[in-house]
Amino acid sequence: PQPLYKVTQRQLNITVQKKESGWWERLTKQEKRPLFLAPDFDRWLDESDAELELREKEEEKINKMKIESRVPKDPFKHLKKGYLVVYNLVQFLGFSWIFVNMTVRLFILGKDSFYDTFHTIADMMFFCQTLALMEILNSLIGLVRSPVIPAVIQVFGRTFILFIVLGSLEEMQSKAVVFFIFYFWSIIELFRYPFYMLSSIGIEWKPLTWLRYTTWIPLYPLGSLAEAVAIVQSIPIFSETGKFSLALPNPLNVTIQFSFLLQVYLIALFLGLFINFRHLYKQRRKHLGPKKRKMK
């Protein structure tokens, strides 16, 4: 084999591969070593050193096996993986149906599809969002490593918008903002759930990872903006109807207008967006940022 050369400012490094494996009695053919040639004893290895190094590697391997044997195996490991795969697959299929249905209707009906989105899509969205409550439980019991707070913020926020702001007011169900809320939600989940499904079985597909941690950058603010518009549009309706408001007389002897709570919720909405944005930004740096080199 051809030797490898590397020239530095101080020296010339030559790496020579032996033609036949074995131990050399000396580095040069002649017994007397040339004055310009000096061995690097930091890299020097003789038979006794090689045996010692091999023995250390074997001991390290045995110790590693002992440590692994002490760690109790989870008897429900495969069951948990199966559950996570099925859960994420069902959610992916549900949001895929929503996205495809809305896209087809948009191409066929144009802007007219904006105004009956709720009546066409709501049943599937109710199903997917109700199922999404499991994500909080998954974090709480440790099935997934995702922190609980971001999961609570997202699930609670969407549930509030879907069931309270849109689901309880017929006047809101025919507004165009419903289309944009559902559309932004579905696009985000088209990449999130497949990513989690593959991650649960130890598979990483880099294009999907990039999409998972990139598409949220424009879609999360747009989705939150659409939710805020829906809340602003619903405030006069809740004020007029008094729905969910606490009127006198009552045990608390106070009047609480639900429309006022919605105004407070608007502030909480953007605070939650900031928290989730920060969490996802850290996750993006972790998955897509430059890998740190380990020091040898």
Query: How far apart, in whole angstroms, are the C-alpha atoms of residue 215 and residue 140?
Result: 27
Q: Is residue 162 a contact partner of residue 126, using CB atoms and an 8 Å limit?
A: yes
Query: How far apart, in whole angstroms, are the C-alpha atoms of residue 265 and residue 228?
Result: 9
Q: Is residue 250 a contact partner of residue 244, using CB atoms and an 8 Å limit?
A: no
Which of 98, 91, 93 shows the shortest CA–CA distance to 120? Answer: 98
- Among the options 220, 240, 265, 281, which is catalytic? 220
Q: Count of residues for the chain? A: 296
Residue 115 annotated to the active site: no
DSSP 100-120: HHHHHHHHHHGGGGGGGHHHH
Residue 67 burial (CB count, 10 A): 9
- Among the options 189, 196, 227, 265, which is catalytic? 227
How would you write 140-204 as a 3-class SS string? HCCCCCCCHHHHHHHHHHHHHHHHHHHCCCHHHHCCCHHHHHHHHHHHHHHHHHHHHHHHCCCCC
The encoded tokens of residue 122 equal: 């709501």
Residues 6+ apart with CB under 8 A from 214: 284, 288
Residue 227 annotated to the active site: yes
DSSP 245-264: -BPSS-TT---B-HHHHHHH
Q: Which residue has the tokens 């096996």?
A: 65
Pairing of strands 12-15, 4-7: antiparallel
Q: Give the C-alpha distances (Å, rounded to integers) separating 263 from 5, 203, 225, 226, 277.
A: 72, 43, 14, 15, 22
Residues tagged active-site: 220, 227
